[in-house]
Amino acid sequence: MADYRTVLITGATSGFGEATARLLAKHGHRVVLTGRRRDRLDKLAKELGGQAHCVAFDVRDEAAVNATIAGLPKEFAALDVLINNAGLALGLEPAHEANMSDWDTMVDTNIKGLMYCTRAVLPGMVSRGRGHIVNIGSIAGTYPYPGGNVYGATKAFVHQFSLNLRADLLGKNVRVTSIEPGLAETEFSVIRFKGDKEKAKTPYRGVQPMVADDIAATIYFAISLPEHVNINVIEMMATNQAFAPFAIHRS
């Protein structure tokens, strides 16, 4: 990835974002670390040294997103890559029992937050004639499962928005990739089950899931290819995960 120098990563305080920041810094690239947990950002930035700049904000806050992008220090301002990683799932209840507040939070973060960051960064990329938007989707956007309702719908948005961006950006030399992981063990389930760590372990029992470093390596692969190559979508699963059979309710 010799041509790329500066990468902004949302949700860099844990999981995929944190692992990607470390990998990029290891290869000599500058990273702008963003997230809500300032203490974690500061710790990671200290670890990565002068290659990192951290800014704490919530991607759901459009004004904060715009102010952050506009106010980046000169050495970090010309963003080559945006990794829209911030996102979450909340709850696993069926739709008729789900918490509306959880639905709102997922829509505001996974959809609106991604839109705000993309819209803030794109004009600079287009004007410079280069760039790469990487959106972190999920197999939940393609394959439904009980309790996935709004989370899966938000990730379906990520998939289609990424493809539509490709159509809009034709001829601008700005690439767009949607990376869509399956079972991966991070803080994802802890957040989904609102801090219940024992419950969060359930999806990973008896199976080797993917880990954050696997997704970070995939992101790095996609953005490392020559500028004339665009990876549209990468769908990835743990080897011991596959598609469920059609469900049939029998009375």
The pLDDT tens digits for 16-73 are: 999 999 999 999 999 999 999 999 999 999 999 889 999 999 999 999 999 999 999 9
18, 212 Cβ separation under 8 angstroms: yes
The single residue of 4, 116, 145, 151 carrying the catalytic annotation is: 151
The reported pLDDT for the residue numbered 35 is: 94
The reported pLDDT for the residue numbered 158 is: 98
CB-count exposure of residue 251 (10 Å: 0-12, 13-18, 19+): exposed
Other Cβ atoms closer than 10 A to 229? 9
CB-hemisphere CA count at 13 Å for 18?
15
> Quick check: is 151 catalytic?
yes
Domain 6-236 has CATH 3.40.50.720: yes
**Ramachandran area for residue 173 (φ above 0: left; ψ -120 to 50: alpha; else beta):** left
For residue 97 the two structure tokens come to 């029992």
For residue 192 the two structure tokens come to 């989904």
Q: Locate tokens 């979450």: which residue?
A: 88
Percent of residues, the chain, with pLDDT higher than 90 = 87
